[in-house]
Amino acid sequence: MTAFDVVVVGRGVAGLLAALKASDAGASVLVLGTGNGASAWLQGVNVAFGHADARDSPETHAADILEEGYGLGDAGIAEDTAADALSVLHELDALGVGFAREGDRYRQRHASGSTYPRCCFVPGMMWGPRTQTVLTEILLGRPGLRFEKARAVRLLCDGNRVYGVLAVRPRSGEPLVYDCSAVVLASGGVGSLFAHSTYPSDVIGSSYAMAFHAGAELIDMEFIQFEPLVACQPKAIRGYVVPTTLFGDGATLRDRAGKRFLLETRPHGEAGIGKETLVLAMAEMARGGRAGDVGEVWLDAREVPEATLEGYPWLYPYLKKHGIDPARDLLPVLPAAHTSLGGIAVDRRRRSSVRGLLAAGEAAGGLHGAGRLAGGSGTDVLASGARAGIEAAALAGPPGSGAMEIYRSEFRPEACPTRPSPGQSRMLAETRELMSRCCGIWRNREDLIFAFERIRALYDQTAPPDRPAPGNFSVRLADILLVAGMVLESARRRTESRGAHQRTDYPATDPAKARSTSLAWRALAQAAKPPGSA
């Protein structure tokens, strides 16, 4: 067992920034993670420098965040996020990330949902993986900071206070116990709980499960943003995300007959459209028989100058390599599960309802509400990662020594193979199919209850015994089922349609329900026995 001031769970941009800021403040830091999460797909980041349009400002940016959240975003968190992003992006650029510039001004594209062009990017590549590389290289050389390739399993708590983290090595399942004063959860997202997703397989909602077991409040778990422009043909590029900033460059969408269907409801067309509005418009084309055989519509970038297309070097050559030349060909696209908009409830300092527990990036709820700006996840990880790291360091003190005792009371201290059995793999596949079928773009009470009851039955079949070995895949599968149950239960409770949550049996938005759906262990247990509540 080893003691650190701060343990950061997650090696994406939010987690690395939290580690950087905590280390800058003098804290000893451990970074836990087994993969790169969703940060590897960050293409652009909204920061209101006003370089593309002098009318832009952090205040306008915050207003856009709140408008895109359909009345549910936290105004204070939105204001802090828009303001903090300016200094953090400057800092990253100075560290060597290399955002696109023209002289001393950043180049900025117009992302969907934003009033003005404010989306910064790195020439020649996505900014997310570039930032991960730069931050990792800086942090690896720091005294008092350590990386561990391990998967966090549980927060070790006594009452309403975090005392440590339990993790396991990914192959052997060897348990690792760490004492600490503060934990930053930064491995959020549930995209891979769906059969059709843009997210990597390691993003399974582990931050939500750990926080939930620790007694933290979670909010807005029903809101799953579907990425609209996901390539579906040819097979070689299926699942590839196309940036909506192409609309600002002149790209359009067309139905089966070649009509620009968005003009029927938006006379000004595609530019600036919010993702939720776009996804619903695409879904309506499928419901009305105006889409392709699998619900696809067609992205038309033939009017975009080829020089502009070449400004997307990770996209344009890739599509051409696989037989699609956007300068000449239409690209079939359809929505796929993408971002979790809810998460762990936090205050403006990114503190949760559990003492010593903070959350950043997609692990945290409260910023996006029922919808998120394109490029908004980048802004979120910049601001929340930095704030969470600063606050975690402020909580640092002499780590306690109770983590091992808590661990031994809940788990067997032994290694255990971490791979799923064939039966568990089938359960996971069924869960993903259920979530896609019953909790996708369109939802209704009957489907949500059916899926919830089936998820609960699967949980009962796989629930780990008392004091399991922490590496046992049954522990992980139970957490996956638990998070799926949270999403389904939250969606059942929201009896209206709002942003990323659309109920066919409650198609209207109810102004009286412009408030977050809150889940905590006791509240969910009282509403309907969830997986794992017993």
Q: Could you please report the per-residue DSSP string of 253-270?
A: EE-TTS--GGGGT-TT-S
In this structure, which amino acid lies at residue 349?
Answer: R
Strand order in the sheet with 224-231: 224-231, 331-340, 297-300, 252-254
Q: What is the pLDDT of residues 425-464, one digit of tens each?
A: 999 999 999 999 999 999 999 999 999 999 999 998 988 8
* Inside any domain, residue 277: yes
Q: What pLDDT is attached to residue 1?
A: 54
Of 336, 354, 380, at which residue does a domain stop? 336
Identify the band that residue 60 occupies on the pLDDT scale cut at 50, 70 and 90. Answer: very high
* Inside any domain, residue 219: no
In this structure, which amino acid lies at residue 266?
Answer: R
Stretch 482-494: mean pLDDT, rounded?
95
* Overall size of the chain counted in residues: 534
Task: Quote the tokens at residue 455.
Answer: 């998820």
Alpha-carbon distance values, 99 to 45, 80, 86, 123, 318 (Å): 10, 22, 13, 7, 21
Identify the band that residue 209 occupies on the pLDDT scale cut at 50, 70 and 90. Answer: very high
Q: Is the peptide bond before 234 cis (omega within 30 degrees of 0)?
A: yes
CA dihedral of 246, 247, 250, 251, whole degrees rounded to 10 = 80
The SS3 assignment for 300 reads strand
Ramachandran quadrant class, 34 (left: phi over 0; alpha: psi -120 to 50; beta: rest): alpha
Contact predicate 190/487, CB 8 Å:
yes
Strands 442-443 and 502-503: parallel
Q: Which residues pair with 344 in a beta bridge?
A: 218, 364
* Inside any domain, residue 200: no
Identify the band that residue 401 occupies on the pLDDT scale cut at 50, 70 and 90. Answer: low
Q: What pLDDT is attached to residue 464?
A: 83
Residue with tokens 């830091």: 29
Q: Which residues pair with 156 in a beta bridge?
A: 164
* Inside any domain, residue 126: no
Q: What is the distance between the alpha carbons of residues 46 and 108, in angstroms, rounded to a whole number?
A: 8
> Which among 40, 77, 45, 50 is positioned nearest to 62, based on CA atoms?
77
Q: What pLDDT is attached to residue 532?
A: 38
* Inside any domain, residue 406: no
Given a cut of 70, whether residue 58 has pLDDT beyond it is yes
Of 301, 336, 371, at which residue does a domain stop? 336
* Inside any domain, residue 151: no
Q: What pLDDT is attached to residue 520?
A: 63
> Which among 29, 48, 23, 42 is positioned nearest to 97, based on CA atoms?
42
The SS3 assignment for 325 reads coil
Strands 105-106 and 101-102: antiparallel
Q: What is the distance between the alpha carbons of residues 336 and 198, in angstroms, rounded to a whole number?
A: 6
Contact predicate 359/343, CB 8 Å:
yes
Q: What pLDDT is attached to residue 136?
A: 97
Mean pLDDT of the chain: 92
Given a cut of 90, whether residue 285 has pLDDT beyond it is yes
- The pTM for the full model equals 0.91
* Inside any domain, residue 194: no
Contact predicate 25/6, CB 8 Å:
no
Task: Quote the tokens at residue 57.
Answer: 């400002």
Stretch 181-200: mean pLDDT, rounded?
88
Higher pLDDT among residues 272 and 357, named by residue: 357
Percent of the chain past pLDDT 70, that is, above it, reads 96
In this structure, which amino acid lies at residue 31?
Answer: V
Given a cut of 90, whether residue 496 has pLDDT beyond it is yes
Q: What residue numbers bound the domain in which 293 lies?
A: 230-336
How many domains does the chain fold into?
2
Given a cut of 50, whether residue 534 has pLDDT beyond it is no
Identify the band that residue 181 occupies on the pLDDT scale cut at 50, 70 and 90. Answer: very high
In sequence order, the 6+-apart residues with CB closer than 8 A to the CB of 317 are none
Q: What pLDDT is attached to residue 202?
A: 73
* Inside any domain, residue 332: yes
CATH number at residue 273: 3.90.700.10
Contact predicate 461/478, CB 8 Å:
no
Q: What is the distance between the alpha carbons of residues 212 and 521, in angstroms, rounded to a whole number?
A: 6
Q: What is the distance between the alpha carbons of residues 517 and 341, in angstroms, rounded to a whole number?
A: 12
Given a cut of 70, whether residue 508 has pLDDT beyond it is yes
Q: What is the distance between the alpha carbons of residues 436 and 432, in angstroms, rounded to a whole number?
A: 6
Q: 332 with 424, same domain?
A: no
Q: What pLDDT is attached to residue 195?
A: 86
Q: What is the distance between the alpha carbons of residues 406 and 409, in angstroms, rounded to a whole number?
A: 5
* Helices and strands in the chain: count of H runs, count of E runs: 15, 21
Identify the band that residue 141 occupies on the pLDDT scale cut at 50, 70 and 90. Answer: confident
| CA-atom Rg of the chain in angstroms | 22
DSSP 329: S
Of 290, 319, 336, at which residue does a domain stop? 336
CATH number at residue 507: 1.20.58.100
| Angle between helix 422-438 and helix 445-462 axes, rounded to 10 deg | 170
